[in-house]
């Protein structure tokens, strides 16, 4: 075990290390987690355009409760993982990439917020809406992919 750890330490710290390519079988678990996640989205009606309208009109506590309690549970789990140095199932140390501040979080954040109130969906619910039978949202998704592409194309020319 110790030797294994030492060998690991000798390897260069590649920034891509935590996201190793997975085998087909390895990918199946993400499909299952995704299915459960999509089920929650639909069953709690988070995918609904109406819920997002209620949220931005401050007329319902529902979405604030969802996002707030999700953050609380996420934060508590990360603290537990850190405190007890819990390793991933493969035995490697849990790594959380650091987010650097950029102007994009302000400008891009604002643009996303505008779009969120129009489509009634952040990227996750977009997929769940399509699965729920609102097939026209495929167009929204394609347009979101196009928006991502345009950002990538001009990213070095935008203030950052």
Residue (of 112, 114, 134) closest to 45 by Cα position: 134
Interface of this chain with other proteins, residues 115 to 144, rule: CB under 8 A: 115-124, 126-137, 139-144
Residue 87 main-chain phi, psi, to 5 deg = -95, 165
State which of residues 32, 83, 84, 85 lies at the interface with other proteins (CB under 8 A).
Answer: 32
| Contact flag: residue 8 with other proteins (CB under 8 A) | no
What's the min distance (Å) between Cβ of 9 and other proteins? 17
Instruction: Give 45-53 contacts, CB < 8 A, sequence gap 24+.
Output: 46/125, 47/121, 47/125, 47/128, 47/129, 47/132, 48/120, 49/119, 49/120, 49/121, 50/120, 51/120, 52/116, 52/117, 52/120, 52/121, 53/117, 53/120
| Under rule CB under 8 A, residue 68 binds other proteins | yes
7 versus 14: smaller Cβ distance to other proteins: 14
Rule CB under 8 A: is residue 21 a binding residue for other proteins?
A: yes
Rg (CA), the chain: 20
Comparing CB distances to other proteins, the nearer of 2 and 156 is 156
Query: Quick one: which of 4, 78, 84, 85 contacts other proteins (CB under 8 A)?
Result: 78
Per CB under 8 A, does 106 bind other proteins?
yes
Q: By C-beta, is 3 or 14 nearer to other proteins?
A: 14
């Amino acid at each position: 075990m110790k030797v294994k750890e030492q060998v690991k330490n000798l390897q260069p710290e590649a920034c891509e290390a935590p996201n190793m390519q997975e085998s087909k079988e390895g990918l199946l678990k993400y499909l299952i987690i995704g299915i459960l996640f999509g089920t929650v989205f639909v069953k709690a009606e988070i995918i609904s355009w109406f819920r997002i309208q209620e949220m931005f009109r401050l007329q319902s506590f529902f979405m604030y409760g969802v996002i707030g309690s999700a953050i609380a549970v996420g934060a508590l789990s990360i603290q537990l993982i850190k405190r007890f140095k819990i390793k991933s199932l493969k035995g490697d140390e849990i790594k959380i990439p650091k987010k650097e501040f950029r102007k994009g979080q302000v400008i891009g954040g604002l643009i996303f917020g505008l779009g969120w109130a129009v489509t009634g969906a952040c990227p996750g619910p977009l997929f769940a809406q399509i699965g729920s039978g609102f097939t026209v949202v495929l167009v929204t998704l394609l347009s979101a992919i196009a928006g991502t592409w345009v950002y990538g194309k001009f990213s070095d020319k935008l203030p950052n």
